[in-house]
Amino acid sequence: MKKKIELININCPSCGTPIVTTYRGRDVKGELLHKCSKCKRYWKVDYTNQKVIWVKGKEDNTQDKEFKLDMSTGKCHPLYLGNIDKALLRREGA
């Protein structure tokens, strides 16, 4: 009997392209650096604190630098909710 493997795509907070794929339910600890293949931004994914932090690339167009990571869905939400409307509009228009 085969086990069903559930994968989670962690998406780029800026453009929505998957930057890394992880297993659902597996504990991942530490920080890893990932590069988005579409928008060429570098993101530090902190699995311990469940944050995604911008590191490098397209500084002029990156308004929000820190995001909260939901490990059950792989989606990111702005950590500071001051620019949430701009972040959502930018993502839908990309």
Average pLDDT, the chain: 76
Q: Is residue 69 part of a domain?
A: yes
Q: Is residue 13 part of a domain?
A: no
Q: How many domains does the chain have?
A: 1
Is the pLDDT score of 85 beyond 60?
no
Provide the residue range defining the domain that includes 32: 28-93
Q: Is residue 9 part of a domain?
A: no
Could you count the other beta carbons within 10 Å of the beta carbon of residue 40?
Answer: 12
Q: How large is the average pLDDT for residues 71-79?
A: 77
Percentage of residues in the chain having pLDDT higher than 90: 0
